[in-house]
Amino acid sequence: MSAMLRTIGRLMTAFALLIGVSAGTVAIAGPAQAARAGAYQVTVTRTGGFIGVNETYTVFHDTAHVSTPALMTAVEGREFRHLCASYPPAGNGADRFVYTVSVTYRNGVTKTIVTEDGADAPELLWRVIGTTLQITRDLAATTAG
C-alpha cells in the first residue's frame, strides 16, 4: 500500500510541475503577443508642393475598402516597424511634397515616418503612402457620387 501511495504522490507532483511549467509559458508568451498589437489607423499628411497644400488622409483598421487589409498587414509587419523615422532627399528641391506617415497601434504606440518627394525611401513606405491616399480618395469619390 505504501508503494502505491508513493507512486500516486509522485504522479501528483509531476502533474503539479507540469501545470506550473505550462502556466509559466503562458505568462511569458502573453506580453510578447501583446507587444505585437495590430494597427488601428494609418494617417498620411501631405504638405508643400507648388501651392502649399496641407492634406490629411486617414484609414482605420475597419475601413470598408478592398485594400484596407493589405495596408494594415503592411504596417503591422516587421519591415515597416523597423523603418527609420526620416528619409530626407539627397539634394535640395523646390515644390516637393512632404509626407508624414503616422501609424497608431492598438497598444497605444504610434510610429511616425517623414519623407518627401525625391527621397530614396524604401518601396514599402511609398506603397503605404500610395495605398492610404488611394483608399481615402476612393471612399471620397463613392460618397460624393
pLDDT digits (tens, 9 = 90+) for 67-79: 999 999 999 999 9
**How far is it, in rounded angstroms, from Cα 144 to Cα 140?**
6
When the pLDDT of each residue in the chain is averaged and rounded to a whole number, the result is 82
**How far is it, in rounded angstroms, from Cα 109 to Cα 32?**
15
Model confidence over 43-95: pLDDT tens digits?
999 999 888 899 999 999 999 999 999 999 999 999 999 999 999 988 887 78
Q: How far is CA 90 from the centre of its chain?
A: 27
* Widest distance between CA atoms in the chain: 93
Question: Can you give the pLDDT at residue 28?
Answer: 38
Question: Can you give the pLDDT at residue 33?
Answer: 37
Question: Can you give the pLDDT at residue 141?
Answer: 87
| Amino acid identity at 48 | G
Rounded to two decimals, the pTM is 0.73
**How far is it, in rounded angstroms, from Cα 58 to Cα 65?**
13
